[in-house]
Structure 1
Amino acid sequence: MAPVISPVQTSTAMPKSTTVVVIGGGIVGLVTALTLAERGVPVVVLEKGRLAGEQSSRNLGWVRKTSRSVADLPMALESDRLWNAMATRVGEDVGYRPAGIMFLAKTEAEFNAHRRWMTATQGLSLDSRLVTPKEIDHLVPGGTGQWVGGVHTPSDGRAEPTLASSAIARAALAKGAVILENCAVRTLSLSGGSVCGVVTEKGEIACDQVVLAGGLWSRRFLGNLGVFLPTLPLECYAIRTAPMEGPTEIAVGGPNFSFRKRMDGGFTICQRGAVGSPLVLDHARLGLRYLPMFREGRHQLRISFGKAFFDDLRLARRWRASDTTPFETVRTMDPRVNHGINAEAMDNIRAAWPTFAAARVEQVWGGTMDITPDSLPVIDHVERLPGLIVASGFSGHGFGTAPAAGQLAADLVTGEKPIVDPTPYRLGRLQ
């Protein structure tokens, strides 16, 4: 069962023209739209299903710098600043709390990985530090796990995925943005090879620029235009507990579990050491590009073959503007929950912190992430299609970095000084 998203009264009329069209009503697309609207740029967001209906509401809600790629840390730092101001910016509480994040190491090899990350990030003004087993017991009391150590970043935080995107959407609407749900974009309109509009299932909209923030669907959309974007789908599974007393406000990630406190008093829990990998055709097409990532072994891939393969195979990869597209066939990707992985998460967390023996599971869900070979997103102009900007491939990190990522996309639209150096996010690195 999907998380219940705070409802938004979206627009009802589709304009004939605008300056910018954002394809995708997830959190990155919505921040892009809000930023543009704040700058006085007319913008229309087109969402094939419901706002934040896919990974933007299904993620764990972590806002972290800890263990993030060094190349991605400037984005994470800027997002921290923007998350801190988000409630004031949108006029609502989005659940953001800078309560800290801690990753735990069960073995010396795991602890050495944290040491290497700390060494690599020296000079970046982080408040991260290595912690001892005694410090772990002090910060997260009541545990019975035998930890070698860990890494703790007090300024990391969390926000509520079911609230944040909706609040950002309402703020964008109040600033003049138009947001349409259940309106899939089929393809781009081109004039002389440049973008001049979009073709939707409900008609065409003329525009000067398009931002593609379509998450896991961006690869298929671009493929129909002859543009290559390598992303693979991986599934994560999550648990929501009833309100309960927990050991800490800090979000904690062990090798095979994670938990974080929610605004409603419960916890969001997952099996951090395992992700689902239902096989689809793209695994055969792209798998070799991902070998270095898979060899690192940070997550177990629970590979399966079945219905997902044939469902994916039935979805078109090439179509005309007059055709019904995959985005209309599947309004919301709602993966089947792997209950075995969730059961492992609960067993592991109860073994580490016995207080979770009292946890009552109220909801479970799955979400599909779009993973790039280097786990960094693409936020860049598409050179062969002037007027098109891609903001996709966030590899499970999009919620935490969305405030800066969406602003970077808006900066590329307006030509303003980028909030961060866009070089790590160039499309060309993956071609």
Structure 2
Amino acid sequence: MAPTIAPIETSTDCPTSTTVVIIGGGIIGLTAALTLAERGVAVTVLEKGRIAGEQSSRNLGWIRKTNRHGEDVPLALASDRLWAAMAERTGCDVGYRQSGIMFLSRTPEQLAEHQAWLDSVSSLSLDSRILSAREIEAQVPGGQGHWAGALFTPSDGYAEPTLASSAIAQAAMTRGAVIIEHCAVRNITRSGGKVSGVVTERGEIRCDQVLLAGGMGSRRFLGNIGISLPTLPLVLSVFRTGAMNGPTDAAVGGPDFSFRKHKDGGFIVTQRGALDAPLTLDHLKIGAKYLSALRSQRGLLRISLGKHFWRDLMQSRHWKNGPSPFEQVRTIDPPINEGLNQEAYRNLSAAWPVFQNMTIEESWAGMIDITPDSNPVIDAVPNVPGLTLATGFSGHGFGTSPAAGQLAADLVMNNKPIIDPHPYRFGRF
């Protein structure tokens, strides 16, 4: 089951024309739409299912600079500023709390890796620092783990995924954006080699620019028009506890668990040391691009060949303007790995016994689109003028979504970008 998203009422009528069409109603597409609407640009968001129905509402809600690639930190810093103003910008509390994020190290070797990251970003003037075991106990009391130390960034934090996308969508609509659910885009149309519109299941919409923010569906959509985007799926299983007296308001990531406070008084928990990696045909096609990442993440992935392979294989890869796979599967809803959730429960309870008596209120799973270097693509497609991508966020999209959406909007309208977009260029693959 998926978390319950704060409800909003979207449009039921498709316009015949607009300036920008955004394909995908996840948090990246919605923040781009809000930015464009605030600038007076006519924008329509088309979502095949429900807004934020996939990973945008299923993620952990972490907003962090810590342990990001150095070239990705400026986007996270810009997002911090935008998250801090999000309640005022949308008129809603999205649960943003700058309570800090801590990454625990069980061994000196793990701590050395955290120190190496800290050294690599020393020029960025972050407030990250190394904590001793005694300082960990002061920050997160009641622990029974034996920690070599931790990497802690006080200015990191979190927000509530089930609130944020709805608030951003409502704010965008208030400023004139049109958001339509249950309307899959089948293809783009071109005139003189340039984008001139999109073909949807309800008919054609003319436009000047298209922003593809389709998450897990972006690779298949682009494949239909002859463009290869390297992304592969991973699945994260999560559970939320009932309200309890927990050890800290900071988010904490251990080697094999993580937790953070939820707005209802419980905690969002996952097995941070393992992700499901369901095999697909795409692993055969583009898997070689991931060899370096696989070597560095050895032991993290639980690889399986099962139902997802056959379901993925049965979905069309070429459909031109006809019915698309996005009309067959409106929402990607992977099965929960209860075994991984139980591992997270055992590991967390051993480290902080206060969690031994927790109750589990709900569980869910979400599918993440991973690029070979775990950085997204936010860039124009060179051989398709008028098409821009904002996709492949590799599980990091929620935290950087305000700045990522603004950067995408900047590129679509040829404005000065909020940060240097070079790390996110499509051509790097």
Scaled by the length of structure 1, the TM-score of the pair is: 0.99
Residue 361 of structure 1 is matched in structure 2 by: 360
Q: Deviations over 1:298-331 (max 9, x none)?
A: 661111111110000000111120x211110100
Residue 56 of structure 1 is matched in structure 2 by: 56
Residue 251 of structure 1 is matched in structure 2 by: 251
Secondary structure of the equivalent of 2:36?
A: helix
Write the letter of the residue equivalent to 1:40.
Answer: G
| Partners of 1:275 and 1:299 within 8 A in 2 | no
Once the two structures are TM-superposed, the CA of residue 12 in structure 1 deviates from its matched residue by 1.4
Residue 223 of structure 1 is matched in structure 2 by: 223
Write the letter of the residue equivalent to 1:19.
Answer: T
Write the letter of the residue equivalent to 2:409.
Answer: A
Once the two structures are TM-superposed, the CA of residue 428 in structure 1 deviates from its matched residue by 0.1
How large is the RMSD of aligned CA atoms in angstroms?
Answer: 0.7
Q: Deviations over 1:145-187 (max 9, x none)?
A: 0000010000000000000000000000000000000000000
Once the two structures are TM-superposed, the CA of residue 18 in structure 1 deviates from its matched residue by 0.2
Write the letter of the residue equivalent to 1:333.
Answer: I
| Partners of 1:273 and 1:298 within 8 A in 2 | no
Residue 333 of structure 2 is matched in structure 1 by: 334
Residue 308 of structure 2 is matched in structure 1 by: 308
Secondary structure of the equivalent of 2:122?
A: coil
Q: Are 2:159 and 1:159 aligned? A: yes
**Cα distance in 2 for residues equivalent to 1:141 and 1:360:** 21
Residue 88 of structure 1 is matched in structure 2 by: 88
Secondary structure of the equivalent of 2:16?
A: coil
| Partners of 1:142 and 1:353 within 8 A in 2 | yes
Q: Are 2:12 and 1:12 aligned? A: yes
Secondary structure of the equivalent of 1:245?
A: coil
Once the two structures are TM-superposed, the CA of residue 202 in structure 1 deviates from its matched residue by 0.3
Once the two structures are TM-superposed, the CA of residue 297 in structure 1 deviates from its matched residue by 2.3
Residue 268 of structure 1 is matched in structure 2 by: 268
| Partners of 1:27 and 1:402 within 8 A in 2 | yes
Secondary structure of the equivalent of 1:81?
A: helix
Q: Are 2:211 and 1:211 aligned? A: yes
| Partners of 1:260 and 1:269 within 8 A in 2 | yes
Residue 379 of structure 2 is matched in structure 1 by: 380
Residue 421 of structure 1 is matched in structure 2 by: 420
Secondary structure of the equivalent of 1:11?
A: coil
Q: Are 2:290 and 1:286 aligned? A: no
| Partners of 1:380 and 1:409 within 8 A in 2 | yes
Q: Deviations over 1:404-431 (max 9, x none)?
A: 000000000121110010000000001x
**Cα distance in 1 for residues equivalent to 2:299 and 2:80:** 26
Alignment of 1:195-206 (within 5 A): 195-206=195-206
Q: Deviations over 1:210-232 (max 9, x none)?
A: 00000010000001111110000
**Cα distance in 2 for residues equivalent to 1:287 and 1:66:** 28
**Cα distance in 2 for residues equivalent to 1:182 and 1:217:** 15
Secondary structure of the equivalent of 1:12?
A: coil
Residue 344 of structure 1 is matched in structure 2 by: 343
**Cα distance in 2 for residues equivalent to 1:299 and 1:376:** 21
**Cα distance in 2 for residues equivalent to 1:294 and 1:259:** 25
Q: Deviations over 1:207-261 (max 9, x none)?
A: 0000000001000000111111000000001001111110000000000000000
Alignment of 1:63-82 (within 5 A): 63-82=63-82
Identity fraction in percent:
62
**Cα distance in 1 for residues equivalent to 2:173 and 2:416:** 25
Q: Are 2:399 and 1:400 aligned? A: yes
Q: Deviations over 1:352-404 (max 9, x none)?
A: 00000111001111000000000000000001100000000000000000000
| Partners of 1:272 and 1:299 within 8 A in 2 | no
Once the two structures are TM-superposed, the CA of residue 283 in structure 1 deviates from its matched residue by 1.2
Write the letter of the residue equivalent to 1:327.
Answer: F
Write the letter of the residue equivalent to 1:377.
Answer: P
Once the two structures are TM-superposed, the CA of residue 296 in structure 1 deviates from its matched residue by 1.0
Secondary structure of the equivalent of 2:155?
A: coil
Residue 369 of structure 2 is matched in structure 1 by: 370
**Cα distance in 2 for residues equivalent to 1:202 and 1:218:** 20
| Partners of 1:19 and 1:42 within 8 A in 2 | yes
Secondary structure of the equivalent of 2:124?
A: coil
Residue 30 of structure 2 is matched in structure 1 by: 30
Residue 120 of structure 1 is matched in structure 2 by: 120
Write the letter of the residue equivalent to 1:129.
Answer: R
Q: Which runs of 5+ in 1 are unaligned?
A: none
Q: Which runs of 5+ in 2 are unaligned?
A: none
| Partners of 1:74 and 1:420 within 8 A in 2 | yes
Q: Deviations over 1:9-33 (max 9, x none)?
A: 0011110000000000000000000
Residue 297 of structure 2 is matched in structure 1 by: 297
**Cα distance in 1 for residues equivalent to 2:211 and 2:13:** 20
Scaled by the length of structure 2, the TM-score of the pair is: 0.99
Q: Any runs of at least 4 consecutive aligned residues in structure 1 with deviations exceeding 2 A, and if so which?
A: none
